[in-house]
Amino acid sequence: MEWCPVDAIIITPQESRINPDLCIGCGECKVTCNYEAVKVSGGNTNTRAVQEKMVEYALGGIKGKEKKMGYFNFLMDITPECDCCGWSDRPIVPDQGFLYSDDPVAIDQASLDLVNKARGFEDSALKENHEPGQDKFRGVHSDVDPEDQLRHAEKIGLGSRKYKLINID
Ligand code: SF4
């Protein structure tokens, strides 16, 4: 209830439920709940839809400012959950460094690839896919395709998934 931005969660002694008329499908309650008690359902609220909405909002946010934007990704303390969660955990892979790009999709694709190329920490929330080249985020969230967001971002014109890494020591 604390995390819902639109007060859509109702908890009484008799019931716990989400008011579908108020819910905007942001997914905050789903990622915040430590007990996987929340199931957000409906045509526009599954995980893929939330990822697609995120990149659509990002596209709206940069509209008209494309040539003035630059992006930094800090691949440090790569924890199993999203940074927006109110808690943290041990990293699942070693730190990979800083990335810069003028393309928000290319930088995220490069970041994902770097994380997947790393060897995962056995003593972390990573349950499987520890070997270099295996999908680390699937190793934590087996039901989420981390590429959904990138595919949709490229499709709607937010950027390109193609990139060339240039190392600066
Ligand atoms: S997804 Fe959860 S947090 Fe987001 S609006 Fe719906 S009930 Fe509230």
- Which SS3 state, helix, strand or coil, does residue 17 take? strand
Q: Is 78 exposed, middle or buried (0-12, 13-18, 19+ CB in 10 A)?
A: buried
Instruction: For ligand 1, atom 5, name the residue with the nearest CA.
Output: 23
The CATH number given to whatever domain includes residue 28 is 3.30.70
Please tell me whether residues 39 and 70 are part of one structural domain: no
Instruction: For ligand 1, atom 3, name the residue with the nearest CA.
Output: 4
Looking up tokens 């659509």, which residue turns up?
56
Pocket residues: Cβ below 6 A from ligand 1: 3-4, 6, 8-9, 18, 23-29, 40
Which pTM does this prediction carry? 0.77
Please tell me whether residues 106 and 165 are part of one structural domain: yes
Both structure tokens of 130? 């520890």
Whole-number average pLDDT of the chain:
90
Please tell me whether residues 142 and 107 are part of one structural domain: yes
pLDDT tens-digit map of 113-165: 999 999 999 999 998 999 999 999 999 988 889 899 999 999 999 999 999 99
Range of the domain at 74: 64-169
Which atom of ligand 1 lies closest to the CA of 18?
A: 7
How far away, in angstroms, is 81 Cα from ligand 1 center?
A: 17
Give how many domains the chain has, as a whole number: 2
Of the residues 3, 26, 84, which should be mutated to test ligand 1's pocket, given the most ligand atoms within 8 Å of the CB? Answer: 26
57 within domain boundaries: no
Decide if 96 contacts 113 (C-beta within 8 A). no
Predicted local confidence at residue 150, as pLDDT: 97
58 within domain boundaries: no
